[in-house]
Amino acid sequence: MGSMMDLNQKISKLKNLEGKFSENFNSIFEVDCSTGTMQIPPTFESKICDYFGEKDENGHLIEDKAKILERIKNQKIVKIFNKWTNQGALFNSLRTERPGMKNKNEQEARDKLKILIRESERNCDFCQASIYTPEDTFGRIEGKHSITAANVAKYDAWSSLVIFKNHNPLKFNLIEFSDYLDTGFNWFKKVFQEDESYKFPFFVWNCLYKAGASQIHGHAQILMSKDYPYARVEHFKKASLKYQEQTGRDYYPDWYQLHSTLGLAFSTGEFQVVASLTPTKEKEIIILSTISPVENQVLKNIIYKTLRCFIDVMGVQSFNLSISCPAIDQEDDTPYVINLVDRGSLFRPTVDMGGMELFGSTVVADDPFKIIEILKRYLNSS
């Protein structure tokens, strides 16, 4: 398994083994590795060791103090920039160890989450969605395990919800998840029938509070945009077109191949699964497909298993899942792009986004090489 901290060495080795890899990589990405240094006053050394040192189950330090201090004094930073999409990410593995970020008691957090979800069922409007939520002017789309509702505070003119019939957002099987997607995509078709100027579908599931959900009860947002896709989706589409115009090659196949060569991606049939070098946030997995998720059960299964791996193996409590789609009325090369990111524990006092993410570059603690290996193992074993 590789590491982001060793990315430059890995690129150098591949330079001689994979033909034009280095040239192709440098045509899309820039990588800079540097060292951040500091002086630690003696009065602060004990606290530093307590914050960042490895401990046994009783909380006693088991790592050499000098090694801890050296690791803090000289921190390796890997900075990556995508020249076409203008995405940037800063990696420092030390950030997972900073105060407030460690999972001191994962079982306690899981137990607290169960209580929170159970207590939220009291007076939950979404548990009786057909009575206590508004509906679209054309009515509701209903599946076996989900039902639509108009968003009472709309994002856009066509902005609704897929409300899951299971209250617990983290408890779902493949059949239920497939139904959520089917209901959402049937709503897209109905909106297009009502008004053909709205033709760009967008599906987004904000799971629990840290991901932006206002209700604990499981639900996803469904939206249709007119004239052009939503801003970030349009940004990537234009970057892809610019790449094709200037290089004569297709952006997404080249982008995928670079990740695959580095060991950060793999293909399953017509779908590509990628742990991005420039993730939007922690643990980002991107799935590319030329086929709609509702038209292929294999793709549904991959998305479902990726979600279950996040929840059941990686311990993810709160996440964002989005599916951006090509225009509903036209055939083009725009792929379906599925993004999944971890938004952190509900019970940590820290948040995962700050000024850097809003106005600068993304700062990432999780290593994409580690995430893709965990996902590969899970998919191969399930």
pLDDT digits (tens, 9 = 90+) for 195-220: 999 999 999 999 999 999 999 999 99
Residue with tokens 């206590």: 132
Q: What percent of the chain has pLDDT over 70?
A: 96
Q: pTM score, two decimals?
A: 0.92
**Residue 104's pLDDT is what?**
56
Q: Is 327 helix (H, G, I), strand (E, B) or coil?
A: coil
Give the residues across from 220 on adjacent strands.
162
- Say if residue 365's pLDDT is above 90: no
What's the mean pLDDT in 272-281? 96
Rounded to an integer, what distance in angstroms lies between the CA atom of residue 233 and that of residue 157?
18
Superfamily of 108-381 according to CATH: HIT-like (3.30.428.10)
**Residue 352's pLDDT is what?**
81
Assign 54 a pLDDT band (cuts: 50, 70, 90).
Answer: confident
339 closest CA partner among 212, 158, 205: 205
**Residue 99's pLDDT is what?**
52
Residue with tokens 């995430």: 371
**Residue 175's pLDDT is what?**
97
Check residues 15 and 61 and name the one with the higher pLDDT: 61
Task: Return the beta strands (E) in the chain as ranges.
Answer: 29-37, 74-82, 88-91, 146-150, 158-164, 198-207, 219-226, 265-268, 271-275, 285-289, 319-324, 336-342, 362-364
Strands 265-268 and 29-37: unpaired
What's the mean pLDDT in 25-53? 92
**Residue 106's pLDDT is what?**
74
Q: Comparing 20-29, 166-175, 227-236, which segment has the lowest mean pLDDT?
A: 20-29
Number of residues written out for the chain: 382
How many angstroms separate the Cα of 248 from the Cα of each of 19, 240, 289, 308?
A: 19, 11, 21, 39
Q: Comparing 35-39, 104-108, 210-214, 314-318, which segment has the lowest mean pLDDT?
A: 104-108
Q: Comparing 53-67, 102-116, 357-371, which segment has the lowest mean pLDDT?
A: 102-116
**Residue 334's pLDDT is what?**
87
Q: What is the pLDDT of residues 329-362, one digit of tens each?
A: 877 778 999 999 999 888 877 788 889 888 888 9
- Say if residue 245's pLDDT is above 80: yes
**Residue 100's pLDDT is what?**
46
Rounded to an integer, what distance in angstroms lies between the CA atom of residue 120 and that of residue 209?
12
Q: Is 29 helix (H, G, I), strand (E, B) or coil?
A: strand
**Is residue 368 within 8 Å of 265, Cβ to Cβ?**
no
Residues 287-306, buried b or exposed e (16+ Cβ, 10 A)?
bbbeebbbebeebbbbbbbb
**Is residue 223 within 8 Å of 202, Cβ to Cβ?**
yes
Q: Which two tokens stand for residue 68?
A: 């801890």
Check residues 269 and 183 and name the one with the higher pLDDT: 183
What's the mean pLDDT in 225-251? 93
Q: What percent of the chain has pLDDT over 90?
A: 72
Angle value at C-alpha 234, between 230 and 236, nearest 5 degrees: 130
Q: Comparing 2-16, 123-137, 257-271, which segment has the lowest mean pLDDT?
A: 2-16
What's the mean pLDDT in 69-84? 93
Assign 11 a pLDDT band (cuts: 50, 70, 90).
Answer: confident
Residue 176 host element (H or E): helix 174-194
For residue 232, give every residue at least 6 positions away whose Cβ sits within 8 Å of its Cβ, in sequence order, or none.
Answer: none
Give the count of beta carbons closer than 10 Å to the beta carbon of residue 359: 7
**Residue 348's pLDDT is what?**
79
Q: Comparing 32-36, 56-60, 276-280, 324-328, which segment has the lowest mean pLDDT?
A: 56-60
Rounded to an integer, what distance in angstroms lies between the CA atom of residue 105 and that of residue 88?
33
Rounded to an integer, what distance in angstroms lies between the CA atom of residue 294 and that of residue 185?
7
Q: What is the pLDDT of residues 89-137, one digit of tens each?
A: 999 878 755 554 455 567 788 889 999 999 999 999 999 999 999 999 9
Rounded to an integer, what distance in angstroms lies between the CA atom of residue 379 and that of residue 2?
19
Q: Would you list the domain boundaries of the chain?
A: 4-102, 108-381
**Is residue 218 within 8 Å of 321, Cβ to Cβ?**
no
Assign 18 a pLDDT band (cuts: 50, 70, 90).
Answer: low
- Find the helix packing angle between 7-17 and 251-262, rounded to 10°: 100
